[in-house]
């Protein structure tokens, strides 16, 4: 089962997810010489293949697990033209 982080203890967090992501994704440093600083980038673009990347895949893991737990056999979603969310949902199903 999914274990939410400690800071989310008081929230209504899901307990299961469908394994769609390749986790954990790396955190990489990016040097900013102009600002003389380094920032850390979370590489969510590496969560999966071309259709299943980023935060959409992370969200779908929980939404699809909930749908399966409720016995759903159809998933309906909406989005704008060329929606990445719709493409990811279709690929996951």
Catalytic residues: 83
| Burial per residue of 36-75, b for 16 or more beta-carbon CB atoms within 10 angstroms, e otherwise | eeeeeeeebeebbeeebbbebbbebbbbbbebeeeeeeee
């Amino acid at each position: 089962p999914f274990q939410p982080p400690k800071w989310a203890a008081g929230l209504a967090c899901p307990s299961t997810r469908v394994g769609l992501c390749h986790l954990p994704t790396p955190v990489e440093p990016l040097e900013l010489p102009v600002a003389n600083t380094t920032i850390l980038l979370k590489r969510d673009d590496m969560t999966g293949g071309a259709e299943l990347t980023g935060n959409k895949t992370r969200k779908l893991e929980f939404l699809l697990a909930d749908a399966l737990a409720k016995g759903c056999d159809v998933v309906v979603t909406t989005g704008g033209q060329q929606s990445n969310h719709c493409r990811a949902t279709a690929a996951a199903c």
